[in-house]
Amino acid sequence: MPPPAGAFSRELAGLEHAMRLSDDEAPFNAVTVLRLEGKLPAASTLRTALDALQRRHPLLQTRILTAGKKYFFHFDAAGPIPLEVCEWPGPEGWIEAAQDELHRPFDLAAGPLLRCRYLLGQSSGDLIITFHHTIVDGASAVHLFGELLSFCEGRAPGDAGETAEEGRLPALALFPSEFTGLRLAWAKAAFMGRQMADEVGFRRRSRGARKPPIAATCRCRLLPIRFSATLTAALIQASRRHVITLNAILGAGMMAAVQRRLYPSPRVPLRHITFADLRPRLRREVPESMLGCFITMFRYTIMVERDGDFWALAQDIQDSTLRGARLGERYLNHAMAPAMFKMLFGLKAFRMGATTLSYFGPVHLSTSYRSFEVTGLHAFAANFTTGPEYSALVRLFRGELWWDIMYLDTDMDAAGAQQIAREMQAILEEATC
């Protein structure tokens, strides 16, 4: 049925559409955790802050409706943001709660597309904020946390005028002129040709190599780790010395570790996915204060050798990303995500990749508030049976690299995931020596 009249509606497009398609397989949730210490906000204070936040942001007043094969954001003041208050289960209890949140679907047709679970203790607590991924990306989520915490301590977070147009336009509508209309259609055709050639080459070079399983169902499992300030500083210095991005360096460490632990072949092609921020690359820059999913991905095949040179691998990853950027693949992958997801879910013949890395750099979030402090920040995006085998969201926070690793229980157990993490850290430590 078409969206009801009387309120603004607009069609989901690009990666938003793909994320909604995923809900038919598994909820495409983004789960974030703010770890707090001190004199924590009361539940009633948080309730008031959430209400103020919802009034400020149109996408927090939104639901998703279906009309045939299309999906629409419908802005008509959905109900209040759900808030569940629970007793704090201890320092590690948030992990199980966050895992549960990844698998709890939203009632998309009812909205809203955000909910909170507050694990509240005497002087420690965890605020678990779950979004449907269509309405948020890393940049806007961090800005939203700053607004919420400001409301919790009784401060208004500033002018809300720039959120008035929030959600009105998808990223697809703001692509540069060379990726619109017929030019976008021609670019898509060329991109499909390159993808088909890559697939043929990948299959040829993968003969005899391990093929990752595709299970009927799965559960996401979480493994948060941190790199010390010493190792973090050494990696940043190595990035500058070798003129290779930290994103490529971390991706190389992850790919090398996965190859060593999961793939017996001494030399094997692996698919790697890295996510990137589209906001500064659009025809009109979208401020971080405006919610929305303005991200994209690069997906490429890299030959990984067990005894290969680490810095050559990192350079290959960087070169592949730069080559894809020159060909406009940040826009093409976003635009063609629905077709990719339909193929993934329809065929169930291959996995998206072996590894996925999302590194968004330093977190610009105040950690000190009037009566409490933010001591930790975690984030996870849901996965599914045809998704990557080993993935991580990484950020620079409080002088350290915080890794939020995700794996599927049908791919490995906790000990296997920890072995890959330890291998990855050892590879990166050795590379900085």
Q: Residue with structure tokens 């990223």?
A: 171
Report which of 172, 205, 385, 359 is spatially closest to residue 273, judged by C-alpha positions.
Answer: 359
204 and 330: one domain? yes
Phi, psi of 332 (to 5 degrees): -70, -40
SS3 80: coil
Report which of 159, 172, 380, 398 is spatially closest to residue 287, judged by C-alpha positions.
Answer: 159
Quick one: 321 exposed, middle or buried, by C-beta within 10 A (0-12, 13-18, 19+)?
Answer: buried
pLDDT for 163:
83
pTM: 0.95
Q: Residue with structure tokens 């991924």?
A: 133
Rg (CA), the chain: 21
SS3 134: helix
As given in the structure block, the two tokens for residue 76 are 């008509």
23 and 126: one domain? yes
- Domain membership of residue 368 (yes or no) is no
pLDDT for 1:
43
202 and 95: one domain? no
Number of domains comprising the chain: 2
**CB 113 within 8 Å of CB 130:** no
Pairing of strands 220-227, 124-132: unpaired
157 and 187: one domain? no
Single out the residue in 145, 171, 197 at which a domain terminates.
171
- Domain membership of residue 376 (yes or no) is no
Q: Measured between alpha carbons, how far is residue 14 from residues 186, 205, 234, 397 in Å?
A: 17, 31, 38, 30
Residue 90 neighbours by CB under 8 Å, 6+ apart: none
Q: Residues 331, 333, 334, 335: is their CA dihedral positive or negative?
A: positive
Q: Residues 109, 119, 419, 312: is their CA dihedral positive or negative?
A: positive
Q: Measured between alpha carbons, how far is residue 66 from residues 19, 74, 291 in Å?
A: 14, 10, 21
As given in the structure block, the two tokens for residue 322 are 């730069």
- Supply the DSSP string of 373-386, one letter for each residue: EEEEEEEEE---TT
d(CA 347, CA 223): 30
257 and 329: one domain? yes
- Domain membership of residue 369 (yes or no) is no
d(CA 322, CA 317): 9
212 and 359: one domain? yes
Single out the residue in 171, 189, 216 at which a domain terminates.
171
d(CA 199, CA 352): 12
263 and 333: one domain? yes
As given in the structure block, the two tokens for residue 23 are 């809900």
61 and 91: one domain? yes
- Domain membership of residue 379 (yes or no) is no
d(CA 36, CA 212): 39
Crossing angle of helices 310-326 and 246-262, rounded to 10°: 120
Q: Which amino acid is at 81?
A: I
H or E segment and range at residue 248: helix 246-262
**CB 274 within 8 Å of CB 358:** yes
Q: Measured between alpha carbons, how far is residue 167 from residues 4, 55, 146, 372, 404 in Å?
A: 18, 14, 20, 32, 28
Phi, psi of 420 (to 5 degrees): -65, -40
CATH number reported for the structural domain that contains residue 65 in this entry: 3.30.559.10
pLDDT for 4:
54
34 and 148: one domain? yes
- Domain membership of residue 18 (yes or no) is yes
- Domain membership of residue 377 (yes or no) is no
96 and 204: one domain? no
As given in the structure block, the two tokens for residue 430 are 């050795």
CATH number reported for the structural domain that contains residue 221 in this entry: 3.30.559.30
Domain with 390, as residue range(s), is: 176-283+294-363+385-432
SS3 124: strand
- Domain membership of residue 343 (yes or no) is yes
194 and 224: one domain? yes
Single out the residue in 154, 171, 188 at which a domain terminates.
171
Along the 433 residues of the chain, how does pLDDT read in single tens digits?
Answer: 445 555 789 999 999 999 999 999 999 999 999 999 999 999 999 999 999 999 999 999 999 999 999 999 999 877 999 999 999 999 999 999 999 999 999 999 999 999 999 999 999 999 999 999 999 999 999 999 999 999 999 887 776 667 888 999 999 999 999 999 999 999 999 999 999 999 999 999 999 999 999 999 999 999 999 999 999 999 999 999 999 999 999 999 999 999 999 999 999 999 999 999 999 999 998 999 999 999 999 999 999 999 999 999 999 999 999 999 999 999 999 999 999 999 999 999 999 999 999 998 999 999 999 999 999 999 999 999 999 999 999 999 999 999 999 999 999 999 999 999 999 999 999 999 8
pLDDT for 157:
77
- Domain membership of residue 140 (yes or no) is yes
310 and 426: one domain? yes
